[in-house]
Amino acid sequence: MAWIASQAYYQVQREVSEGQQRCSVSDRRIDLYHDRITTHRREFELGHVFDISYRRIGGGIGMLYLHTSIGVFSYTVNTDPMPFIACFKSMPGEKASE
């Protein structure tokens, strides 16, 4: 099944080994389907998602937050997530209520 909307995010992993720090960046995406939202490691049924919000940090980077029935999950983004959020909020059907 094809996704309705997609938002790029990335994960930075830092490792310290032998007194040196190494960073690796992994590009990932959040996909919105008619019944769920998927990330690299998680899948949320839309009925378990309360809201999606965004906070800009600076320098073109921000945090996208998925507010779910099992907690809030944060994702680092460097592109505007407002179209993705608008698509989620305009979807018909039941979403979780707080």
- List pLDDT tens digits, range 21-39: 999 899 999 999 999 999 9
pLDDT at residue 43 tops 80:
yes
Q: Which of 19-23, 40-44, 52-56, 82-86 is predicted least confidently?
A: 19-23
Classify domain 5-90 by CATH number: 2.30.29.30
Domain ranges of the chain: 5-90
Both ends of the chain: CA-CA distance in Å? 29
How far is it, in rounded angstroms, from Cα 26 to Cα 35? Answer: 26
User: Which is nearest to 46 in space by CA: 32, 29, 64, 28?
Assistant: 32
Mean pLDDT of 36-54: 96
Cα within 13 Å of Cα(44), Cβ side = 24
pTM for the full predicted model: 0.84
Mean pLDDT of 73-93: 93
- Cβ neighbours of residue 34 under 8 Å, at least 6 residues apart? 1, 4, 46, 91, 93
Whole-number mean pLDDT of the chain?
A: 92
Express as a percent the part of the chain with pLDDT over 70. Answer: 94
Burial of 27 (C-beta count, 10 Å sphere; 0-12/13-18/19+): exposed
